[in-house]
Structure 1
Amino acid sequence: MVDEDETAAPEETVVLDMLAALAAPETDVVETPEAFLSGVAAALKASDDVDADLAAILTNHLLTVTPHDNVIANAKAAILTLAAERAAPAGEQADG
């Protein structure tokens, strides 16, 4: 019989790895919010299973200690801009 871990999708594997790291025993390490958010941002950027452009948006807009007053609207606008860029044709094709 195949173990569930062997058939997990790459996204599930990343989540399982993050959960395992969080569950690992630590020795009274006090982490500041800035250090925590920086670590999350670095992990997102380093992962091959995470969209780099989306990770940058999350890092710049949401994973900050003192977010801008319009953080959600700004992040949404950045995501919509990224989606529009990706949906646009790569270049006009000549008829023929």
Structure 2
Amino acid sequence: MRPIALFLLSFLVVGCSPGERIGEVLIRTDAAGKMVTVSMRKSTGNPKADARVMLYARTTFPSRVPDAKPNSSYTHLVLGDPKTSSGDVRVWGPLGLR
């Protein structure tokens, strides 16, 4: 898919999804397009939820972005209820290229 189509699709999906945007996971690629780092761009406020979301992003990145661009950054949106402390969060929508 084209980057613009992915952006529009993610905008529509996120706009229709339940929950609030409570965090973001940042994934960076190297010169070969391989994942180098996974970090929280914006924390959910719950260390267990952050760890779970980063693990999910790390394990699903190769299948969600099979042709990752070299030296790029991708983000996963993290949705959930900011009032709960249970760490019940979801990673939502396709990855966005930054």
TM-score, normalised to structure 2's length?
0.24
Bigger share in helix: 1
TM-score, normalised to structure 1's length?
0.25
1 or 2 for the larger relative contact order (CA 8 Å, sep ≥6)? Answer: 2
Query: Looking at CA atoms only, which structure, 1 or 2, has the larger radius of gyration?
Result: 1
